[in-house]
Amino acid sequence: MSNFPASAATHLNWLLKLQQQLSGASAAVLQHEYLLLLMGSFTLVIGTAHQRLKFEWDGRDFFLDIAQCTCQSQSSPQQWSHVQNMRIAPPEQVQSVIERKCKEIFDT
């Protein structure tokens, strides 16, 4: 029997918890894509009107890529600057790494 429903529910529950933590810093989950059939890979953009972090998790190889951008206006193109790429093992720690980085940048 597949554990896909449990995996998806766990991921979405974590995302809701993260959004609640971000609310105190006026930051929000701005974009999210979860690819359950690709080993739970996901892309997550978190930020405010002027500052954003993008997390891209490769669930197959356990790599997390982090990029940051500062937006001058809503109509400005987003120019991402690479911040860090790290291998995370065990992969269950990816959520705490994202939470720590958000706390560091957005003071949640």
Q: Is 62 within 8 Å of 88 (Cβ atoms)? A: yes
Q: Which helix (H) or strand (E) holds 9?
A: helix 4-23
Q: What is the DSSP string of 27-52?
A: -EEEEEEEEGGGTTEEEEEEE-SSEE
Model's pTM, two decimal places?
0.89
Q: Which helix (H) or strand (E) holds 89?
A: none
- pLDDT tens-digit map of 16-71: 999 999 988 889 999 999 998 888 899 999 999 889 999 999 999 999 999 999 98
